[in-house]
Amino acid sequence: MSLSSLLLPAVLFFALGVIARLIKSDLKFPPDLAKVLSIYLLMAIGLHGGYELAKADMAIAFQSIIWALILGFTLPIVGYLALVATRKVNPLDAAAISAHYGSVSAGTFLTAIAYLDNLSVEYETYPLIMLAVMESPAIVVGLILAAKARQSIASRDADASAAVTTTGSGEKSNFKEMLRDAFTNGSVVVLIGSMIIGAIAEPSGMEKLKPFIDEIFMGVLCLFLFDMGMVAARRIGDFKQVGIVLAAFGVVMPLFGGAVGVYVGASMLDFSVGGATLVGVLGASASYIAVPPAMRLAVPEANPSFYLTLSLGITFPFNVIVGIPLYHAMAEAIVP
Amino acid sequence: MVSLYAEKLLNIIANDSLEDRLVCMFKKYGVSGYTILTARGEGSSGHFSDMSGFDANILVKVVLPESRVQVILESIERKIKKGHHLTVYLSNVEVITPEKFEKTLS
């Protein structure tokens, strides 16, 4: 792991955002800027990836989707069991937190792409489909784990029947609604839609979009990470509330998910070092756009400070600064 | 002198992910309209909305006749029992066009 990886402009801007917040600068970005920028970033990467994927091997693309589903469904279960075993959080908090860790962070993924580009490491386009696929399954697992947790709490605690017997027909229709929300969530629509447009659009038309897709991409990523640095630093204040055990989970879980992801990328999907690094990043990252509102609605009993602080305040900075070079080193070690 | 008529003003502070559910509830139980503002602050649930778009709060204001208040409060209470963090307060207000608050949204 070299120091040069930390001197990436995008990572430096992330640090600047953190510092601006720590020194109490009056710097403020307009509300929703990070959301606007992430729509652009997903569009650009989707168009680029769709264009490349049109020329790709469909069998490998299909295999990537299967592995993305396997990761998306199993990582939150591992996270849940680990969290419950610590006895520091109740099962509903554990369900909500682990859903974040099964899903992915596009911001981390894009930073990894900037990192690989900077080192001139080649990577496959397939992890991009995996990014789109992995947004949603963890939300579904989170809902199922929360439903199980509610049942076990209800059976343990007979008095609480009024508050927790929410398994009626109303709950079922809510569950359906949540499933629909999970798969039609904004990031998924932007990413998959842009990939399809990139794949079917006339190449001459795509050529005209080049400045939009390629040339300003890194600059926008810097701006996005600048803003995200401030958002993350604001969450670090909640660190005390989260406690040392949960904070440790915010570092250990991405290391575990990253190692599993690199292994899947390298051994199961036969990707290059760059591709395996990206699958590692998918396994390691925790969602902060799609999953928090879904958990707010579906698991309102869980404490939002826990999952937001973990995913935004601990795991995201950890991955951007330490994780990505580490997963790259892991991939270098195991890709033949 | 302009006549004034008594109405109730319902204020709800909630996470913005609940907006659709609240609007749906208003339509179900009959209100004439509602106003939603982005809000930030800190309170009993220990977290504050950060205005970055990732975790924003909203302040919902609804003016309604007293006869329609109870049914909406009961629905809100059910949401709170489910675990949603809602801050709700009701106040007396006076309006000059009471007929405006009689019609219901479809």
DSSP A315: I
Which strands sit side by side in the sheet containing B57-64, from one edge to the other?
B35-39, B57-64, B5-15, B87-95
Three state DSSP letters for chain B = CCCCEEEEEEEEEEEHHHHHHHHHHHHHHCCCCCEEEEECCCCCCCCCCCCCCCCCEEEEEEEECHHHHHHHHHHHHHHHHHCCCCEEEEEEEEECCHHHHCCCCC
Averaged pLDDT, A90-114 = 93
The C-alpha atoms of residue B59 and residue B45 are separated, in whole angstroms, by 16
How close B29 comes to chain A (CA, Å)?
17
For residue B86, the chain A residues in CB contact (below 8 A) are: none
For residue B15, the chain A residues in CB contact (below 8 A) are: 293, 296, 304
Residue B48: pLDDT band (50, 70, 90) is low
pLDDT above 70 as % of chain A? 93
Residue of A38, A161, A227, A231 to mutate, interface with B, max B Cβ within 10 Å: A231
- Phi, then psi, of B28 in degrees rounded to 5: -65, -40
Residues of A with CB under 8 A from a CB of B: 29, 31-35, 162-163, 166, 227, 230-231, 234-235, 238, 241, 288-289, 292-294, 296-297, 299-305, 308, 312
How close B5 comes to chain A (CA, Å)?
37
Averaged pLDDT, A153-177 = 58
The two beta strands, B5-15 and B87-95, are antiparallel
How close B40 comes to chain A (CA, Å)?
11
Residue of B25, B28, B45, B52 to mutate, interface with A, max A Cβ within 10 Å: B52
pLDDT above 90 as % of chain A? 48
A with B: how many residue pairs have Cβ under 8 Å apart? 65
A246, pLDDT greater than 70:
yes
CATH placement of domain B5-96: 3.30.70.120
B15:A296 CB<8 A: yes
pLDDT at A4: 63
Residues 6+ apart with CB under 8 A from A26: none
Averaged pLDDT, A297-312 = 86
The C-alpha atoms of residue A197 and residue A206 are separated, in whole angstroms, by 9
Most confident of A221-230, A250-259, B24-33: A250-259
Residue of B15, B16, B17, B57 to mutate, interface with A, max A Cβ within 10 Å: B17
B81:A162 CB<8 A: yes
Q: Is the pTM of this model over 0.90?
A: no
CA distances from A92 to A72, A251, A254, A335 (A): 19, 21, 21, 38
Averaged pLDDT, A74-87 = 94
Of A34, A302, A312, the CB nearest to B53: A34
A159, pLDDT greater than 70:
no
Residue A223 belongs to some domain of the structure:
yes
Residue A99: pLDDT band (50, 70, 90) is very high
Of B46, B56, B79, the CB nearest to A305: B46
Residue with tokens 């009626």: A168
Averaged pLDDT, A276-287 = 96
Residue A26 belongs to some domain of the structure:
no
How many Cα atoms sit within 13 Å of A173 on the Cβ side? 4
B46:A312 CB<8 A: no
Residue in chain B lying closest to A177 (CA)? B21
Residue A164: pLDDT band (50, 70, 90) is very low
- ipTM of this model? 0.74
Q: Structural domain tally of chain A? A: 1
Least reliable range by pLDDT among A52-61, A162-171, A210-219, A311-320: A162-171
Residue A108: pLDDT band (50, 70, 90) is very high
pLDDT at A104: 93
**Of residues A227 and A283, which shows the higher confidence score?**
A283
- Phi, then psi, of B50 in degrees rounded to 5: -105, 5
Residues of the domain holding A275: 3-20+32-156+163-334
Residue A168: pLDDT band (50, 70, 90) is very low
Q: Give the domain ranges of chain B.
A: 5-96
A297, pLDDT greater than 50:
yes
Averaged pLDDT, A228-245 = 81
A303, pLDDT greater than 80:
yes
Residue of B54, B79, B85, B86 to mutate, interface with A, max A Cβ within 10 Å: B54
Averaged pLDDT, A50-68 = 90
**Of residues B106 and A25, which shows the higher confidence score?**
A25
pLDDT at A160: 47
pLDDT in tens, B49-101: 554 556 778 999 999 999 999 999 999 999 999 888 899 999 999 999 999 88
Contact A247, A261 (CB under 8 A): no
